[in-house]
Amino acid sequence: MGSEAQSITIGVPGSFAWKVFHERHPAMIEQLCAAFPFGAGVRDRLAELLRETTGGVVEPLDDDAPDHGAWAAWAEDRLGRPWSECSFLWAESYFFRKLLAAIGYFAPGPWRGIDPFAPMKNAELGSAGAAEALAAFNELPLLGERGRDDAVVQAAVWGNQADLAFRMSVDAEGAAAGLVTGDSLLFWSLFDAPGPVHLVADNSAGELAADLVLVDHLLTTGRADRVVLHVKPTPYYVSDATPADVLGVLRHLIELAGEVGAIGRRVWDGLRAGRIEVRDHPFFCAPLDYRGMPYDLREEFASASVTIMKGDLNYRRLVGDRYWPPTTSFVDVTSYFPGPVVALRVLKSEVVVGLDEATAATLDKTGDAWRTSGSYALIQAARPV
């Protein structure tokens, strides 16, 4: 790979990353305080978190949660430095870790282990939009083989639009404008002989439901003989899926009639039989990109016949959260990855690679905030050479 592009920081006023901290986070904290009867202590800690992260220096964690040691190491060389100098990837992750501590997620008391984002995730899963998207899966048996292959991949890609953190963004537009690169044929071209497929999930609710449909399709068509579903160990980035969310979404699916209910029951059986496994490695909440993944996780991905990376944050962590020229090769920037990898992502941040020059120029000419509007998506794949 050529020289590294500049890392994205949160300190450039008016930039997308800056707005996440200065506009989206205050809105999110207001929503949390409306959704829970937090007392003055929690509300003060949340206000202090906003002050620290928008104008202060990086302070250490003051809890003794099990991940404290790991975070102390990840934060060590940033303590005392202004937040504005921190990379977007690092800063957002530390923000969410501090937010959990602020509400008392790790401490004895009434908020211990309570997912602060659960009301929003539940509302999304129970919404009319989600019901409509789920009902659409009942049409799957009516499609031919190619049509089903295409439909489940499209649903998994565009399911990534359903992202609650993102909807709090001033830039979110939401319409599905199209794929800027890739298609479902590219996705399926990675699957040769059946093997273990790893899916690194992103958001819960509608997106996770679409991911479970894809998991079922991988198993029923024999593309996978086993699926490992990776989720976050703790609540993160508002709507990211945790093990509890997998159960919640699955219970929701199996209550439904038609094919979507049947898919839910097959996934349930797959979990019981060990064909599907859910993992929540601590690294999925780490403030690092996948280049820095620990040995055990690297080994897991190395043993996968294909790894599917869902969503914007996983994409940033996969290619590096940098101002890459959009024509940078996806294959080059992911060459460190230990096995075949495919990204399914709606564009919601400034990072993008792997576009051809004409596409990038056409998108730039539209004058749209195409990198961050959530209207465009991509499918990109690479195999180690």
Ligand X SMILES: O=P(O)(O)OC[C@H]1O[C@](O)(CO)[C@@H](O)[C@@H]1O
Q: 92 or 300: whose CB is closer to ligand X? A: 92
What is the nearest approach in angstroms of ligand X to the Cβ of residue 166?
5
Residue 336 to residues 46, 192, 273, 321, 376, Cα–Cα distance (Å): 38, 21, 33, 15, 26
Name the amino acid, one letter, at 176. Answer: A
For residue 154, the number of C-alpha atoms closer than 13 Å in the C-beta half-sphere is: 14
What is the nearest approach in angstroms of ligand X to the Cβ of residue 260?
23
- Whole-angstrom distance, CA of residue 98 vs CA of residue 210: 30
Q: 163 or 211: whose CB is closer to ligand X? A: 163
What is the nearest approach in angstroms of ligand X to the Cβ of residue 114?
21
What is the nearest approach in angstroms of ligand X to the Cβ of residue 202?
5
Please name which of 222, 153, 211 lies closest in space to residue 185, comparing C-alpha atoms.
Answer: 153
User: Which two tokens mark 362?
Assistant: 């056409």
341-346 and 376-382 beta bridge pairing: antiparallel
Q: 232 or 266: whose CB is closer to ligand X? A: 232
- Whole-angstrom distance, CA of residue 170 vs CA of residue 24: 8
Name the amino acid, one letter, at 253. Answer: L
Contact status, residue 16 vs residue 349, Cβ threshold 8 Å: yes
User: Which two tokens mark 137?
Assistant: 């899966």
Residues near ligand X (CB under 6 A) = 20, 92, 160, 163, 165-166, 202-203, 237, 311-313, 316, 348-349
Angle, CA of 241, 243 and 245, to the nearest 5°: 50
What is the nearest approach in angstroms of ligand X to the Cβ of residue 147?
26
Q: 91 or 197: whose CB is closer to ligand X? A: 91
- Phi/psi for 9 (5° steps) reads -115, 175
Contact status, residue 344 vs residue 153, Cβ threshold 8 Å: yes
What is the nearest approach in angstroms of ligand X to the Cβ of residue 278?
18
Q: 165 or 306: whose CB is closer to ligand X? A: 165
Paired with 289 in beta bridges are: none
User: Which two tokens mark 342?
Assistant: 């495919």
What is the nearest approach in angstroms of ligand X to the Cβ of residue 119?
18
Q: 98 or 223: whose CB is closer to ligand X? A: 98
Q: 87 or 160: whose CB is closer to ligand X? A: 160
What is the nearest approach in angstroms of ligand X to the Cβ of residue 11?
15
Q: 15 or 359: whose CB is closer to ligand X? A: 15
